[in-house]
Every structure is written in structure tokens, then in C-alpha cells.
Amino acid sequence: MAKKVKIGFVGCGGISEAHLGGLSKHEEVSLVAFCDVNEARTNAIKEKYSKDAETFTDAKTMFKEVELDGVYFCLPPFAHGAELLAVEYGIPFAVEKPVNLYEEQAREIAQAVDEKGLMTSALYMNRYRRGVQTVKEMLKSDPAIFMLGGWIGGSPRGAADTGIISWWIQKDKSGGQFHEQVTHTVDIACFLCGDVIEVHAYGAKGFNKGVPTAYSIEDATVVNLKFASGAIANLFASASSNGGGGGVTLNVYANDFTALFSGWEHSVNILRSGKEPENIPGEGDIFAIEDNAFIQAIKQKDPSKLMATYRDGFKTMQVTLAANRSMEIGAPVSIQ
């Protein structure tokens, strides 16, 4: 029997289960360690997905005591930094988006990864979608001129019965909706069009009703991007739209075609003058596709299988943090 890839997890919150469901059934994977500051959560994940795994509340101890071939970091934006342990031990790692909340800490990790030559995967699953790949290929000969899209959702509600306040609604923990959620749309825009060089953002506050007292993110955000290619984009976020008509969208306009992405699954409708529309449905098992790419990259020592590296995740994070900075100072922000 072929040797299984030994995988550990740092962070056992909700997003970890998007990966654990498939990995626990993957015939080439052995889930050997789970780490979370919430010991009860770690034990529950062990019981559900891998009863033979070891559990930890300290990542440093996990890396010291367990033999790992790869590790997932599934952490809130404010809780990163343990990736440096993976670099120290030379363990390939996958990290959920956004890769950090603090640019200098993320820069340190990115530089350490580059210096080590370590294989990494920033978990921007939409890069693996056939529709996104198709549009990227089309843009090589007919580059994007303008993009419009974002996420429109309803008002966050509290959990008064449990007393638990989500970190997501707290700006100093999540970075806000644009940084934590619309990062997916920003990343597709960067994947399709290349580097962003300037960001100008506006935020709206004070309109949401009935939100928890800890709520401190923007009710809505609008962000203009300028790319090194000359393309421009207008991206948006709303956590205050309860009347319907929301969802996830990204429209890509080139000279000879238009690509209309819609829904969390990013199905795409490609329009060309004088031709029938081409519809490419989004994959429902995109986490499994993304995770298998990471496992095969480890097994074959082939980073070319990965669509996004930590450095790519860092660049996307720079854009969303620049949007936050622009809202603070009321002026455009350049990205170096």
C-alpha cells in the first residue's frame, strides 16, 4: 500500500470542516493531528473525522511531536502567525483566506516561505474552477478592460441565546466584509488581470438595524481598483441588504467578450457578439478539487499543481488592506 500523506490542522473552526469532510475520505490521506485553542472543539473534530489523531491546544507542540507531510491553517484573520512554524520545520502548508490581518506579519511569513523555497497553497478555491480557467485563457488574447462585482448579503444577527459574539462582525478581528469575504472576488480579479497598483475605497456605516453591539464592520463598501495592465474594476460589499436581490457576482468585460460569473459556485455565462452564449456551471465539489491538488503536489513534490501560493494570497491581502486604509484616510492608496 502506498504511503499516505500525513496531514495536520491548526484551527478547527467551521471552515476546517469544508476540507475535513473530503480529506477524511481521501484514500491517500491520513489525518494525524488537530490543534485549536478550544480543546473541546479539537476533541469533537477528532471524534468526527479521525479518532486516531493526536490533539493539541498549542501549535508549537504539535509541530514538535507529530510527523507531518502537510498542514492546514484554518484561522480567523487576526490569529495567524503559526505559519512560521511550518516554515521552520519545512512542512508544506495550505492556508485559508485571507492569509492574515496584519501586513507586516504576512510579509515576514511570505519572505520566510520564499527563502525556504517551501511549497504553499493559499486556499482560493475559485482559481480551480473550469469557468475561471476558461476565462483566464481567453483574456490572454483579449485582455480585460473593466470588472464589476462583489458580495451582497443581509445584516449579521447576534447569538443572544449563547452569548457568543462572532469575530466576523468585529473590524479589528476580521478586517471587515471586504477583507474577509470579498477577498474571493478580489483574488479572481487579480488572477485574471494581474497586479493591482492603486485602490480607492468608501465605506458606509450607521444604517444597519438590530445588529449586535460588538458590530463594527462597514454596512457596505465600494472599492475601485487600478491594475498594472491598465484595466480597472469596481468591487463592492454589503452586510446590510435584507430585501433580497443579493448574492455573489463578477462581470468581466473585454473587447470581444463578456464573462458573467454568478453565485457562490461561480457559474459563468460567456457572451460573444454573433455567437450563442457559452454556459459553464460551477463545481459543487470545489473544496475536494482544491484539496486534492494540495495532496498531489505534496506526493509528487510538484508545486505547479497549485493555483495560488502564499505569495499570491499575500498580494490579494494587500489589496483588501489597502481598501481599509483608503477608507481611513479618504484617499487612494498605492500598492508597491
> Which CATH number fits the domain that encloses residue 57?
3.40.50.720
For the domain that residue 321 is a member of, what is the CATH number? Answer: 3.30.360.10
Radius of gyration of the chain (CA): 20
Cell numbers of 308, please?
495560488
Domain match, 71 and 48 both: yes
Q: Write the DSSP assignment of 192-232 as a string of letters.
A: HH--EEEEEEEEE-S---S--TT--S-SEEEEEEEETTS-E
Across the beta sheet with 93-96, what order do the strands follow? 54-56, 29-35, 5-10, 70-73, 93-96, 120-123
The SS3 of residue 12 is coil
Domain match, 329 and 200 both: yes
What does the buried/exposed string (b/e) look like for 17-34 if buried means 16 or more CB atoms within 10 Å of the residue's CB?
Answer: bbbbebbbebeebbbbbb
Supply the range of the domain harboring residue 269.
126-282+317-334
Single out the residue of 246, 232, 223, 254 nearest to residue 321, CA to CA: 223
Q: How far apart, in whole angstroms, are the C-alpha atoms of residue 285 and residue 236?
A: 26
Domain match, 222 and 322 both: yes
How many structural domains does the chain have? 2
Q: Is 76 in contact with 12 (CB distance < 8 Å)? A: no
At residue 212, what are phi and psi to the nearest 5 degrees? -60, 155
Domain match, 164 and 223 both: yes
Q: Is 197 in contact with 214 (CB distance < 8 Å)? A: no
Domain match, 253 and 325 both: yes
Domain match, 270 and 179 both: yes
Domain match, 249 and 154 both: yes
Domain match, 168 and 263 both: yes
pLDDT of residue 336: 84
Spell out the per-residue pLDDT of the chain, length 336, in tens: 579 999 999 999 999 999 999 999 999 999 999 999 999 999 999 999 999 999 999 999 999 999 999 999 999 999 999 999 999 999 999 999 999 999 999 999 999 999 999 999 999 999 999 999 999 999 999 999 999 999 999 999 764 444 557 999 999 999 999 999 999 999 999 999 999 999 999 999 999 998 998 999 999 999 999 999 999 999 999 999 999 888 999 999 999 999 999 999 999 999 999 999 999 999 999 999 999 999 999 999 999 999 999 999 999 999 999 999 999 999 999 998
pLDDT of residue 160: 44
The SS3 of residue 147 is strand
Q: Write the DSSP assignment of 231-255 as a string of letters.
A: -EEEEEEEE---SS--EEEEEEEES
Domain match, 63 and 103 both: yes
Q: How far apart, in whole angstroms, are the C-alpha atoms of residue 29 and residue 281?
A: 29
Domain match, 43 and 64 both: yes
Domain match, 213 and 94 both: no
pLDDT of residue 20: 98
Domain match, 24 and 95 both: yes
pLDDT of residue 1: 56
Q: Are strands 144-153 and 247-254 parallel, antiparallel or unpaired?
A: antiparallel
Cell numbers of 61, please?
507542540
pLDDT of residue 157: 77
The SS3 of residue 22 is helix
With cell 491517500, the residue in question is 28
Single out the residue of 121, 119, 166, 133 nearest to residue 14, CA to CA: 166
At residue 232, what are phi and psi to the nearest 5 degrees? -130, 160
Q: How far apart, in whole angstroms, are the C-alpha atoms of residue 271 and residue 172?
A: 41
Contacts of 43 (CB under 8 A, 6+ apart): 55
At residue 214, what are phi and psi to the nearest 5 degrees? -75, -5
